[in-house]
Structure 1
């Protein structure tokens, strides 16, 4: 693994401290938001986000449906900002996630859903932002300044803030305990050696895989390959990749499979082995694979926090791939840190 210093690398190493800061300073806001949500007894949840923040929301969708047993749907911000339609959101809790809190379309959709009857919660790294002002309540993620264009610590702290909120709404003491133990686990996750997987990335194309909450992590991983390494990557559910996409898998085709210790983990491991048998170079965060190569990963004591540790280990690997390719992951071409879409 490359040891060249980048801002992205420094921010990956700050993730455990950022999560510890969130856990230390965010309790009041989380408790207040959870109390408001419990009192409303929402029929469903809504998310509003783009990019990495939308991947965090995909993770929270599974958490909502598996823990709260409430469906959660992603609403396109353009419904309001482009089409000027106001949704009837009575009985919903809306999670609007944005590290900057400044994008006009996210803000306008949040304002619209609040006017439509939803309880709106902003999850952001800027508690003075337009999004924070638009929402009923704000959960600051306490990540500190993030200067690299690629979101790493803000993605993880957004995940943790949203998952913590869901755990508090449910009163899930086991999950809350696992969340509070995350800083130590994430610190260890930064030291997992994924250099074998990094060496297999040939720069042409690859797949990332997951199932359930880990599919959201796979989505984030594919995005990071594109934006930091300029490598085409596609994310698939392990339930879907063998239907059509598998036809492009050739000898040595790289695959990174994210398998957690949950009910979907066996499916991911089986698919990883099936792709390896077809000649793919498959690496999986699983100890049960027989054809794919196991990746070192950090158990966190709960199946919903395991994927968070996995993405931290992945970030270290993808930064190393970018540097090895001579690309500065702090400032990828065509990209800005804050993208304000309408």
Structure 2
């Protein structure tokens, strides 16, 4: 009827409704990648594998940088290839001219619109690199300048804090690395259902969030495949709730920063079941010895031995894909803490969806 005003959809007037909705989409996004994206990812991996890259470079910023770090672990462990993270300013600010023949450059970006990522990728291609863009926008400037492209198929992401594109990046990168080694990524098939189970446990996360409403700082730690999860969880907490959250590899935590942990210091440990979790055990023992307020995201035995935690369903889940599940309760934790502190996770201050770094 002319002149009428449509009522907002249920919940749309509440703070954080956009981020909340996008977190809830993640099982569907994972299913879409497995059903619709996996064949193209595998075909691209086969074409690149035929070029026999001798070294891999990863290029990213922010949340995508944490996804790239996850890919670094995959590439070094699963492929045995040397792998490094680029310093984009060497080309964009200093004009360096690298020699990148037979090097694979993987640039990861949700939007594909950051000028420094595009410029760095263009320079790498001109320097002889095989260039692959991993984005949520097939028409982006980054996709245009890259030789190959993987589409995340996550759909529009409107919340400033990235959630569904992060888990989409992890899955796409896992499938790509598996494709490089001739695998089909079949173990990932169980992820969407497990993701649904985790996201349905909102009451547990809400109770856990009460511990951090008045936190002045936090420490988040892990090792191995879980370390990128620690970095991404810290980023989500900082950009939504503004709590200074420091992420450390468990090994680095023992080299000095452990001194700042005491019996009132909140510490979250992501314990990936497997070799990474075993390597973290001495750190957990030291944290308990210092009386830290330790919360564990991980398997039953570690959660039971901590002050609190969130049990992950990891039975039958290979260590290398557990990070796709680990981040889910931590995304929701950041959302719940932000709401409890009277802030809106959809509108973090000083943030833009496309960061114009050069």
TM-score by length of 1: 0.95
Q: Is the 8 A contact 1:273 1:292 kept in 2?
A: no
- Partner of 1:302 in structure 2? 318
SS in 2 for 1:180: helix
Deviations along 1:64-120, whole A, 9 cap, x unmatched?
001001121110121221111121111111110111101111001111111112111
SS in 2 for 1:101: coil
Q: Is the 8 A contact 2:16 2:345 kept in 1?
A: no
- Partner of 1:125 in structure 2? 136
Q: Is the 8 A contact 2:226 2:271 kept in 1?
A: yes
Q: Is the aligned partner of 1:187 residue 2:200?
A: no
Q: Is the aligned partner of 1:234 residue 2:243?
A: no
SS in 1 for 2:301: coil
SS in 2 for 1:20: helix
Shift of 1:288: 3.0
Gapped runs of 5+ residues in structure 1?
A: none
Shift of 1:125: 0.5
**Structure with larger Rg:** 2
In structure 1, C-alpha distance between the alignment counterparts of 2:42 and 2:346, rounded to whole Å: 35
In structure 2, C-alpha distance between the alignment counterparts of 1:238 and 1:191, rounded to whole Å: 30
Deviations along 1:16-58, whole A, 9 cap, x unmatched?
1111112222134212211122111111111110000000000
Q: Is the 8 A contact 1:298 1:310 kept in 2?
A: no
In structure 2, C-alpha distance between the alignment counterparts of 1:131 and 1:28, rounded to whole Å: 22
- The aligned runs of 1:43-192 (5 Å cut-off) are 43-173=54-184, 176-192=185-201
TM-score by length of 2: 0.90
In structure 2, C-alpha distance between the alignment counterparts of 1:157 and 1:36, rounded to whole Å: 22
SS in 2 for 1:309: helix
- The aligned runs of 1:237-248 (5 Å cut-off) are 237-248=249-260
Aligned mate of 2:301, from 288, 291, 295: 288
Gapped runs of 5+ residues in structure 2?
A: 1-13
- Partner of 2:38 in structure 1? 27
In structure 2, C-alpha distance between the alignment counterparts of 1:294 and 1:335, rounded to whole Å: 30
